[in-house]
C-alpha cells in the first residue's frame, strides 16, 4: 500500500527524532546520479556496490546511522531513478569491468523493496540492464527491511534474473546490527525481533534465496570492547544455527562502527565516552565463524561519513587492513590469527 507524501515525511522525521539526530538531508544532489558507487573484492570475485539516491529510509531511527542524510525527504520518481541506472552502467569503470563483475549490491541506504522509496518500474529496468550488461553476474543483492519482502515480487525478480547469460541468484540483505535484544531494539532501535527474522528466513529459504545479515561491532555507547566482541560471537553462532535449521546460505557482514555526524555516537565520542572498535577485536570476533556454515565479509569502508577521528581505521592500520581485505577474498581464517593472535 502506497502512502501519501505528508505521511511518509512524518515517518522519516519521527524516526530521526526518536534518537535525537541533527543531520540534514542531501536535497542538492543530482537526482539523475547514484549517491555512491564502488567496487569491492570478496571470495565470490569482483563486486559492484551502488547506492541509489532516493527518498530517505522511512524507519530512520537506528541510533548510530546517518545514512539517510545522503538521501532526500522528497520522492525521487522512476524517471530519475532510470537516469541513475543509466548513469551507473555508463560509468567508464563499470563498463570496463562489466565482464568481471560477479555480484551487484543494490542499496538506497534503506529498503530497495519499499515501493514508497524505490520505484518498481526502476527496479525492473535495473534488472533488464543488469541482464544486458553484466554477462557473468552470479548474485544480485537487494538491501531491505523484512517487512517489505513480498514473495510474489521476489519470485518475479528471480525469474527475470534467470534470463541473463548466466544463472543469477537473489540475495536479500537485512540489517541486524546487534544480537543482544536489548541493545538491538531498546537502545539502537532497530525494530527487529528474532521471531520476525526467523519467520522471514522460513519464508525465503525454500526458494533458495540467499541472505546477508549486517552486524555492527560496538554499535552503541556504554558497550565496552569485550562486550562488543561477545555480541558478534553470539550473533555468529546464532546465524550458524539458523543456516543449519533452514538450510540457508547466509553471509555474515561485519561492519566495525564508525562515528557518524549528527548522531548520539558523535555526542558520546566528543565527550570521550565512546570510541570505535579496534580492528584486532573485529578480527577476533569474526574468527568465531570458522566452524560455522557461514561466509564472512568484514566491511572496511565508511562511505566517507565518519567524523574526523571517528573512523575505526587508525594511524598505522594499513597492514591490518590489507590482511582483512585478503581474508574477505579468501575466507582463510588463519589470516585473522595474524591480526589478533
Measured CA to CA, the distance from residue 76 to residue 121 in angstroms comes to 12
Environment class of 108 (CB within 10 Å of its CB; exposed 0-12, middle 13-18, buried 19+): buried
Cβ-proximal residues to 220 (8 Å cutoff; 6+ apart), any chain: 63, 64, 178, 183, 187, 188, 265
Cβ-proximal residues to 96 (8 Å cutoff; 6+ apart), any chain: none
- pLDDT tens across the length of the chain (341 residues): 556 888 988 889 898 998 889 999 999 999 999 999 999 999 999 999 999 999 999 999 999 999 999 999 999 999 999 999 999 999 999 999 999 999 999 999 999 999 999 999 999 999 999 999 999 999 999 999 999 999 999 999 999 999 999 989 999 999 999 999 999 999 999 999 999 999 999 999 999 999 999 999 999 999 999 999 999 999 999 999 999 999 999 999 999 999 999 999 999 999 999 999 999 999 999 999 999 999 999 999 998 899 999 999 999 999 999 999 999 999 999 999 999 97
Task: Determine the structural domain holding residue 260 and report its residue range.
Answer: 5-340
* Dihedral sign of CA atoms 73, 79, 80, 84 in order: positive
* Dihedral sign of CA atoms 128, 129, 133, 137 in order: negative
Measured CA to CA, the distance from residue 71 to residue 109 in angstroms comes to 8
Residues 252/67/263/300 CA torsion (nearest 10 deg): 40
pLDDT of residue 121: 97
Please report, for the domain that includes residue 71, its CATH number. 3.20.20.70
Whole-angstrom distance between the N-terminal and C-terminal Cα of the chain? 52
Q: What residue spans of the chain are helical by DSSP H?
A: 5-18, 78-90, 92-97, 120-133, 151-161, 181, 194-204, 225-246, 264-271, 279-286, 318-330, 333-340
Measured CA to CA, the distance from residue 293 to residue 94 in angstroms comes to 32
Q: In what order do the strands lie in the sheet with 139-143?
A: 36-42, 45-51, 101-107, 139-143, 169-177, 210-217, 250-256, 294-298
Q: Are 220 and 183 a contacting pair, CB within 8 Å?
A: yes
Residue with cell 546517518: 66
Q: Are 317 and 279 a contacting pair, CB within 8 Å?
A: yes
Q: How many domains does the chain have?
A: 1
Helix/strand/coil percentages in the chain, nearest 5:
45, 15, 40
Amino acid at each position: 500500500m502506497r502512502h501519501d507524501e505528508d505521511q511518509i515525511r512524518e515517518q522519516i522525521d519521527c524516526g530521526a527524532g526518536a534518537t535525537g539526530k541533527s543531520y540534514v538531508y542531501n536535497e542538492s544532489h543530482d537526482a539523475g546520479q547514484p549517491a555512491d558507487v564502488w567496487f569491492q573484492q570478496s571470495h565470490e570475485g569482483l563486486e559492484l556496490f551502488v547506492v541509489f539516491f532516493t527518498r530517505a529510509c522511512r524507519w530512520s531511527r537506528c541510533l548510530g546511522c546517518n545514512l539517510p542524510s545522503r538521501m532526500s525527504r522528497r520522492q525521487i520518481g522512476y524517471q530519475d531513478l532510470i537516469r541513475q541506472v543509466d548513469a551507473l552502467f555508463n560509468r567508464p569503470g563499470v563498463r570496463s569491468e562489466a565482464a568481471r563483475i560477479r555480484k551487484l549490491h543494490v542499496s538506497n541506504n534503506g529498503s530497495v523493496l519499499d515501493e514508497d522509496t524505490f520505484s518498481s518500474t526502476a527496479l525492473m529496468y535495473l534488472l533488464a540492464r543488469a541482464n544486458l550488461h553484466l554477462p557473468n553476474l552470479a548474485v544480485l543483492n537487494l538491501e531491505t527491511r523484512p517487512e517489505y519482502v513480498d514473495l510474489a515480487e521476489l519470485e518475479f525478480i528471480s525469474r527475470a534474473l534467470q534470463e541473463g547469460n548466466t544463472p543469477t541468484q537473489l540475495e536479500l540483505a537485512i540489517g541486524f546490527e546487534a544480537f543482544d535484544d536489548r541493545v538491538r531494539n531498546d537502545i539502537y532501535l532497530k525494530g527487529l525481533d528474532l521471531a520476525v527474522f526467523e519467520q522471514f528466513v522460513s519464508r525465503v529459504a525454500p526458494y533458495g534465496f540467499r541472505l546477508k545479515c549486517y552486524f555492527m561491532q560496538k554499535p552503541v555507547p556504554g558497550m565496552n570492547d569485550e562486550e562488543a566482541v561477545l555480541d558478534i560471537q553470539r550473533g555468529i553462532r546464532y546465524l550458524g544455527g539458523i543456516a543449519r535449521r533452514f538450510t540457508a546460505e547466509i553471509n555474515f557482514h561485519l561492519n566495525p562502527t564508525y562515528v557518524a555526524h549528527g548522531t548520539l555516537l558523535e555526542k558520546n565520542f566528543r565527550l570521550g565516552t565512546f570510541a570505535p572498535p579496534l580492528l584486532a577485536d573485529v578480527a577476533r570476533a569474526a574468527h568465531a565463524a570458522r566452524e560455522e556454515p557461514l561466509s564472512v565479509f568484514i566491511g572496511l569502508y565508511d562511505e566517507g561519513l565518519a567524523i574526523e577521528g571517528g573512523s575505526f581505521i587508525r594511524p598505522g592500520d594499513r597492514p591490518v587492513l590489507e590482511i582483512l581485505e585478503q581474508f574477505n577474498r579468501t575466507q582463510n581464517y588463519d589470516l585473522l590469527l595474524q591480526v589478533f593472535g
